[in-house]
Structures are given as C-alpha cells and as structure tokens.
Amino acid sequence: MGKRQPTFVILGAFLLAVSSSITSAQQSSAAASQNQPAAKKSNGHAYSGMYTFLKEGEFVQVSVDSDDRVSGFISRYEDEDSEKGAFVDQFFKGAKLEGNRLTFSTKTVHGVWFDFKGTVERGEGKNPGDEAYYILKGTLTENATDAEKKVTSRNREVEFKMFPQNVSPQAR
C-alpha cells in the first residue's frame, strides 16, 4: 500500500491542477464577456405602422421586425382610366433599414412602381401612438412604363406622417 500512495498523490495533484486551470479559464471568459459592450438593441420595430401617402385615403404600411428586416406595402388609388378609383396594393420587393435610414422599392403594378430613399424621424406627435409621432421623410420616385416600354420617372420630396395607433385610415 505504501507504493500506491504516491500514485494517488500524483493523480490527485494532477486533477487539482486540471480543475484549477478549467476554473481559471471559465473566470477569464466570464470577465471578458462582462467587459464586452452589450449589443446595441435596435428600436427599428418602433417605426412599424401606417403612414400617410400621396392622397387622402392612401397609405404606406411599414413593418420592422426585431432583426430590422423591413416589409410592407403601399395602398393607393389606381391612376389608369380603366381602373380609376380602385385601390391597388403594391408590396415591397426590397426594403432596408440602417439606423434611421429607410429605403424601399415596390413591385410593379400596371406598369407603375415606387422607390423611396429617406429617413424615419421624430415628428410633431408628443407621445408614442400619437399622430405624426414618426415621419418618413425623403425622396419618392414614381416610375411608369408606357405602351412602348418607355420608362418615365418623377421625383418628389415627401413627408409621410404616422397614423395614430389603433385608428384605421378610413376613420380619418
């Protein structure tokens, strides 16, 4: 038995050293993660909502998820003579939010599509949920293709106000 004691002592010392080194590595890892700045949480989802569009009764719906992925659509009156007055929904085919910079392009409907490049800014609304708490401000480009496949584009500076929460555009 006397010969086995040194083996146990050596084995015990080895296990103590391994355990100590694992604990030290865990403490170093925890300290390093505490010193890392927290990932900045985006508030892009706060920009989600319905905004005015070009004419009374028209609107832009913008939805921003927790990863700042943007989806939405424009609901507007048809301008073509054959469909004049009918509502057309034009869904975003591409959209991006980087900080407060928003861009989107719609799918083409009846030869017309829109591009928006601008920002989401605080508006005149005092509290979240108030009308115009946020506004979309920037350049809207309306693109149209005619019968000869000629594309015309019209740029305009726009400011779209967020609708008050829990109010539909028809109730306005």
Instruction: Quick: pLDDT tens for 125-166.
Output: 999 999 999 999 999 999 999 989 999 999 999 999 999 987
Residue type, 2: G
Residues 20 and 88 in one domain: no
The answer to whether position 9 is within a domain reads yes
Pairing of strands 112-122, 101-106: antiparallel
Residues 62 and 131 in one domain: yes
- CATH number of the CATH domain containing 157: 2.40.128.30
The answer to whether position 172 is within a domain reads no
Residues 93 and 156 in one domain: yes
Residues 23 and 96 in one domain: no
The answer to whether position 65 is within a domain reads yes
Yes or no: say if 134 and 108 are a contact pair by the CB < 8 Å rule: no
The answer to whether position 132 is within a domain reads yes
> Which helix or strand (DSSP H or E) is residue 14 part of?
helix 4-35
The answer to whether position 131 is within a domain reads yes
Residue 9 confidence (pLDDT) above 90: no
Residues 64 and 24 in one domain: no
- Tell me the pTM: 0.70
Residues 121 and 96 in one domain: yes
The answer to whether position 119 is within a domain reads yes
Please, which pLDDT band fits residue 21 given cuts at 50, 70 and 90?
Answer: very low
**In this predicted model, what pLDDT tens digit does every residue of 71-128 receive, in sequence order?**
999 999 987 655 567 889 999 999 999 999 999 999 999 999 999 999 999 999 999 9
Residues 1 and 56 in one domain: no
Domain count along the chain: 2
Residues 30 and 102 in one domain: no
Confidence at residue 35, expressed as pLDDT on a 0 to 100 scale:
46
Residues 29 and 55 in one domain: no
The range of the structural domain enclosing residue 151 comes to: 44-167
Taking CB atoms within 8 Å and a gap of at least 24, the contacts of 103-110 are 104/62, 104/70, 104/72, 106/73, 106/74, 108/145, 110/78, 110/80, 110/83
Residues 76 and 113 in one domain: yes
Compute CA 157 distance to the chain's CA centroid, rounded to the nearest angstrom.
22
Residues 119 and 157 in one domain: yes
Residues 102 and 146 in one domain: yes
Q: Which residues contact 83 (CB under 8 A, 6 or more apart)?
A: 110
CA angle 35, 41, 44 (to 5 degrees): 165
Confidence at residue 165, expressed as pLDDT on a 0 to 100 scale:
85
